[in-house]
């Protein structure tokens, strides 16, 4: 979100405090003084993670602090993983495979690249999945593992740090 | 210290050559291959035995066997490097038991018996007041076991993951670099001498899984077996899959991983960023250990080879000599 506040001591801290009060997690704060701006306001961009349904609460708290919200861009699906599937992807219903993820409500297939060398040969596809949270990503991958096994597809997952 | 060598294949020959070449204070008093054996309590002329093996196809007296050496020769430590049998572990398990029974130390490169019977063999060694070491069973020349027991002593090992099969790594490297099919890359690996005539053990991840079992049992003593490993090989990979990974700055490697807290024991092809420390070309092996104090440690090196494997065996022998034999 992009915020506008008075450029006076303690203002930035006052603007950040409500974020933790509603259980949010600050990922980045970009704070750049515009030399062409001669008034005493400060523009700050904050990237943050918020639990579901807390945004209105946060807006209210920021307003009380005298902070003006210029813009909010919501990105719901923060976690991304790319997997590769190999096998008879079309014969086994590729759109069904994608649907199994999309229909969860917490994860989506956002990009697919596929290569089909021949009708009877196994095809390969790269699939990017986005999910709301880390746990949701794990749940989505668990679904995909099950689907891959049922359809005799080889699922190649990324290597995450083990611990 | 006196040693006896059972097995004169690639590994055994490497050990014998290094014993002859390097002044390590190790005296070879018994030697056996599958057809013959030879003993000399004063020390065997290794060059002569190796020349005989090359000339005749056997190293010693055809009326003598490995059992004779193990049961009768005068030695402190047995070097057991016979061909591995992943199903029964024999005859190696029997050889090792016979030596341990005589209160002799044992050093082996034999994966099958260690994956199957390490617990029993180690208990037997403890009972007899000797030691069993098997550095060479996992990742060839890389000193994994020494690192675990000495360098990382006192650390809790939280998880491990690594590239434990050089043949697969070579095939995947070639598929990615040249767009070769799996079959073409396998054929090339065979021509280079990196793959066996029957590549099943390597390409289906069985070899990596056996090493993973040995590591897990050594570190966590959790009694896991080969059948407990969730295993997928590389034989169904397509060049397209490697290209699709490459388009995103990634590649595919066969990764063995264990994480007891997550109940994870798996060998599978995985997508890795090309900058990942476990991405390297050719037949090397590597292992990352995640620990509570040291955090991540990655070891990388040669996973196979005659002299490379001899390096691990000699490391074990000198460990025994310095701690158990010279002191006595």
pLDDT, position B232 = 97
The predicted structure's pLDDT at residue A162:
40
Known active-site residue B262: no
Write out the two tokens for B313.
Answer: 């065996």
Residues with Cβ within 8 Å of B5's Cβ and at least 6 positions away in sequence, in order, are B12, B15, B16, B19, B28, B30, B31, B32, B79, B81
pLDDT of residue A39: 67
For residues B240 and A77, which has the higher predicted lDDT (pLDDT)?
B240
User: What is chain B's mean pLDDT, rounded?
Assistant: 95
* Predicted pLDDT of residue B327: 55
In residues, how long is chain B? 328
CB within 8 Å of chain A, chain B residues 214-233: 232
Q: Averaged over B147-159, what is the pLDDT?
A: 97
**Interface of chain A toward chain B, CB-CB under 8 angstroms:** 82-84, 86, 113, 115, 117, 122-126, 154, 156-159, 161-163
Please name the residue of chain B whose CA is at the shortest distance from the CA of residue A152.
B236
Across the interface, whether the CB atoms of B241 and A159 are under 8 A apart is answered: no
* CA–CA separation, B279 and B151 (whole Å): 24
- Give me the phi and psi of A26, to 5 degrees please: -80, 125
Please report which helix (H) or strand (E) contains residue A112, including its range.
strand A107-115
Which chain A residue shows the shortest CA-CA distance from B249? Answer: A82
Read off the tokens for B280.
């390297």
Query: Does A76 or B261 have the greater pLDDT score?
Result: B261
The full 3-state SS of chain B, as one line of letters, equals CEEEEECCCHHHHHHHHHHHHCCCCCEEEEEECCCCEEECCCCCCHHHHHHHHHHHCCCCECCCCHHHHHHHCCCCEEEECCCCCCCCCCCHHHHHHHHHHCCCEEEECCHHHHHHHHHHHHHHHHHHCCCEECHHHCCCCCCHHHHHHHHCCCCCEEEEEEECCHHHHHHHHHHHHHCCCHHHHHHHHHHCCCCCCCCHHHHCCHHHHHHHHHHHHHHHCCCCCHHHCEECCCCCCCHHHHHHHHCCCEEEEEEEEEEHHHCEEEEEEEEEECCCCCCCCCCEEEEEEEECCCEEEEEEEECCCHHHHHHHHHHHHHHHHHHHHCCC
Q: What is the pTM of this model?
A: 0.85
Q: What is the pLDDT of residue A161?
A: 54
- Provide the 3-class DSSP secondary structure of residue A100: helix
pLDDT given for residue A160 in this prediction: 78
**Main-chain phi, psi angles of A66, to 5 degrees:** 75, 25
8 Å CB contact of A162 and B252: no
Q: Are B216 and B207 in contact (CB under 8 A)?
A: no
Q: How far is the alpha carbon of A46 from chain B, nearest alpha carbon, in Å?
A: 28
B270-295 pLDDT per residue, tens: 999 999 999 999 999 999 999 999 99
Structure tokens that stand for A41 in this block: 């306001």
Q: How far is CA B320 from CA B22, B107, B113, B150, B317, in A?
A: 17, 9, 20, 14, 5
Q: What is the dihedral of CA A78, A84, A90, A92, to 10 degrees?
A: -90
Distance separating alpha carbons of residues B279 and B255, to the nearest angstrom: 10
CB contact under 8 A, A117 and B240: yes
Residue A101 DSSP class? H
Decide if A158 and B271 are in contact by the 8 Å CB cutoff.
yes
For A97, which DSSP code? H
Contacts of B247 in chain A (CB under 8 A): 113, 126
Q: What is the pLDDT of residues B23-71, one digit of tens each?
A: 999 999 999 999 999 999 999 999 999 999 999 999 999 999 999 999 9
CB contact under 8 A, A124 and B240: yes
Q: Are B166 and B309 in contact (CB under 8 A)?
A: no
Express each pLDDT in B208-233 by its tens digit.
999 999 999 999 999 999 999 999 99
Q: Which residues contact B234 (CB under 8 A, 6 or more apart)?
A: B168, B171, B172, B182, B203, B205, B252, B254, B269
CB pairs A-B closer than 8 Å: 75
Q: Which one of B236, B252, B257 has the shortest CB-CB distance to A162?
A: B257
Interatomic CA distance for residues B203 and B234, integer angstroms = 6
- Among the partner-chain residues B161, B252, B276, the one whose CB lies closest to the CB of A156 is B252
B118 closest CA partner among B229, B203, B230, B226: B226
Predicted confidence at residue A34, as pLDDT, reads 66
Contacts of B270 in chain A (CB under 8 A): 156-159
Q: Does B47 touch chain A (CB under 8 A)?
A: no
Task: Report how far residue B88's alpha carbon sits from residue B86's, in angstroms, rounded to the nearest whole number.
Answer: 6
Identify the pLDDT of residue A51.
81
In terms of Cβ atoms closer than 10 Å to its own Cβ (0-12, 13-18, 19+), residue A145 is middle
Would you write out chain A's pLDDT as a tens digit for each of its 163 residues?
A: 777 777 777 778 888 888 888 888 888 888 776 666 666 777 788 888 888 788 888 888 888 888 888 888 777 777 899 999 999 999 999 999 999 999 998 899 999 999 998 888 899 999 999 998 888 999 999 999 999 999 999 999 999 754 3
Residue tagged active-site, from B53, B104, B111, B211 = B211
Contact A122 B236 (CB under 8 A): yes
Closest CA to A68 of A13, A15, A18, A4: A4
Chain A: nearest CA to B244, how far in angstroms? Answer: 6
pLDDT at A35: 66
């Amino acid at each position: 979100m992009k915020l506008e506040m008075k450029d006076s001591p303690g203002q930035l801290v006052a603007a950040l405090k409500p974020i933790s009060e509603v259980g949010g997690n600050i990922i980045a704060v970009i704070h750049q003084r515009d030399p062409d701006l001669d008034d005493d306001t400060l523009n700050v961009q904050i990237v943050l993670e918020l639990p579901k349904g807390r945004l209105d609460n946060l807006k209210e708290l920021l307003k009380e602090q005298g902070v003006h919200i210029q813009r909010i861009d919501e990105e719901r699906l923060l976690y991304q993983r790319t997997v590769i599937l190999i096998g008879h992807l079309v014969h086994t219903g590729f759109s069904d495979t994608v649907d199994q993820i999309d229909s969860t409500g917490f994860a989506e297939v956002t990009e697919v690249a596929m290569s089909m060398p021949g009708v009877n040969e196994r095809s390969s596809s790269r699939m990017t999945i986005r999910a709301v949270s880390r746990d949701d990503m794990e749940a989505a991958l668990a679904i995909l593992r099950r689907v891959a096994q049922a359809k005799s597809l080889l699922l190649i997952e990324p290597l995450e740090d083990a611990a | 210290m006196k040693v006896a060598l059972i097995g004169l294949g690639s590994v055994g020959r490497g050990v014998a050559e290094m014993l002859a070449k390097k002044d390590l204070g190790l005296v070879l008093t018994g030697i056996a291959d599958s057809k013959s054996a030879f003993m000399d309590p004063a020390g065997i002329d290794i060059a002569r035995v190796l020349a005989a093996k090359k000339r005749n196809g056997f190293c010693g007296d055809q009326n003598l066997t490995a059992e004779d050496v193990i049961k009768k020769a005068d030695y402190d430590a047995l070097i057991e490097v016979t061909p591995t049998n992943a199903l029964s572990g024999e005859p190696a398990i029997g050889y090792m038991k016979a030596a341990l029974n005589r209160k002799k130390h044992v050093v082996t490169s034999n994966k099958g018996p260690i994956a199957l019977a390490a617990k029993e063999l180690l208990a037997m060694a403890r009972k007899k007041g000797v030691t069993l070491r098997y550095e060479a069973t996992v990742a060839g020349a890389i000193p994994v076991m020494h690192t675990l027991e000495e360098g990382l002593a006192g650390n809790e090992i939280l998880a491990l993951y690594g590239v434990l099969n050089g043949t697969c790594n070579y095939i995947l490297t070639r598929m990615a670099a040249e767009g070769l099919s799996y079959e073409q890359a396998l054929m090339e690996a065979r021509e280079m001498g990196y793959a066996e005539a029957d590549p099943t053990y390597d390409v289906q991840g069985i070899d990596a899984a056996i090493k993973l079992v040995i590591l897990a049992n050594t570190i966590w003593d959790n009694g896991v077996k080969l059948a407990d490993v969730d295993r997928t090989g590389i034989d169904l990979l397509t060049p397209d899959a490697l290209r699709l990974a490459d388009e995103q700055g990634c590649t595919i490697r066969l990764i063995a991983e264990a994480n007891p807290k997550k109940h994870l024991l798996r060998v599978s092809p995985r997508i890795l960023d090309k900058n990942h420390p476990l991405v390297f070309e050719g037949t090397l092996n590597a292992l990352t250990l995640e620990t509570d104090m040291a955090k991540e440690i990655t070891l990388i090196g040669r996973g196979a080879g005659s002299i490379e494997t001899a390096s691990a065996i000699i490391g074990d022998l000198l460990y025994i000599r310095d701690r158990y034999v010279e002191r006595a």
